[in-house]
Homo-oligomer: A and B are copies of this chain.
Amino acid sequence: MAGSRVSFAGGDVGPWRVLEQRAVRGDPLPAVERVTVATRGDAPPANGRAPAWSLDGVVSHLRYATRRDVDSLRPTELPLSRPEATRAVLIPIRKSAAWWALAQDERDEIFAARSRHSAIGLAYAGEIARKLYHSRDLGEPFDFLTWFEFEPSQATRFDELLAALRCTPEWGYVEREVEIHLLRDDAFGIAR
């Protein structure tokens, strides 16, 4: 749905506790303790100072996925907010000017044929829930905000997924990338 806008705010409040935050490429984001995920219309958090950073994105239409990709993915993919998926990772990404200057068929060739981006995602879709938010047209510092949710036992699988994506030719066009690992507050009771 266009206009489904989401804000990720990093600060000292929010249900997601930061386990690790690091710049993979380019400038880091200021280090924070917690992250809030808000959709438009949510009230701002009642406590805490102003967030150290706030990143906006929107759910948008598919940019590369074919009908075949969609039909393969639909029966497999997991929804967000499963109670047992207490781990999350937010990865804001910006691609280079060279990427955005490519024509659609050139980007598609890199995305699909050379990098098999959808196929890699599909292989992990039954274990790791994933949502992509688009930021570039909003004039934001990143082009995409990728959000992953999984059970703590799937953390190694998540690392594999990231490693597989990062050695694709597509990732050669990533010029800024930050990785923020999160644990949901209510998970502490379960984990201990």
B2 touches A136 (CB 8 A): yes
CB of B104 within 8 A of CB of A58, answer: no
Q: How many residues of A contact B (CB 8 A)?
A: 29
The answer to whether B104 and A64 have CB atoms under 8 Å apart is yes
- Decide yes or no whether A63 CB sits under 8 A from chain B: yes
Of A85-93, A124-132, A137-145, the stretch lying at the interface with chain B is A137-145
Q: Mark A68-101, 1 if CB is under 8 A from B, else 0.
A: 1110000000000000000000000000000011
Is the pair A60, B3 in contact by a Cβ cutoff of 8 Å? no
List 22 contacting pairs A-B, 8 Å CB cutoff, sorted by A: A2-B137, A2-B139, A2-B143, A3-B137, A3-B139, A5-B139, A58-B139, A60-B137, A61-B100, A62-B103, A62-B104, A63-B104, A65-B103, A65-B104, A66-B103, A66-B106, A67-B102, A67-B105, A67-B106, A134-B137, A137-B138, A138-B138
